[in-house]
Chain A
């Protein structure tokens, strides 16, 4: 069965004594959790849609009632962005 050494370009994977260890490929910072759960353990920021860039319509209230936010998750070591989303809060 195949075994992967990466989750994506930001998150690498190795095994220490059979235990999965994730790490940032940019600064080697070890990450908490498994490949399925690590995102929820990362520092994160939630802010206005205007921070998503000029390509995203900034006033969600024109269309929907639910607040829509810009959210990012970072490496706790080097603060490389690991995940960006524009979603209902």
Chain B
């Protein structure tokens, strides 16, 4: 028979743990941690209980013919299954028919997108013009001009560098000639 005193003791312990756990959770929820504090780990509180439970489960499972190698085998099976699917899909996607189908779908999509994009662009431009604001097209145009300006400045810099280099060479040859 099960000892009633031992059972009571067990239930008291369980109730105490539950109450402490609930209080901790309540504290966690009500008090937001300071921004610099690391994130709380709710598993950490239950770790001793969890470990004790896991130990018991481990002992139970250890008496069965099932071993943890089963997990490894399951992972290998999943990997092989995914690889087989990958190969099968690769074979299908590597056909001329698939490429043709993709090209046709893309064409159809572009046929839909082009007029929509143009209409949206026009309506946004009109709205911004009404509000006396610069449109995306105008901003892009300004940005493009800045990029071109940067290019020109660099070309001028290159030209000046080349002239300075030549002058330097001339000065050196003049010194040598003297």
Q: Please indicate whether A and B come from the same complex rather than being unrelated chains.
A: no
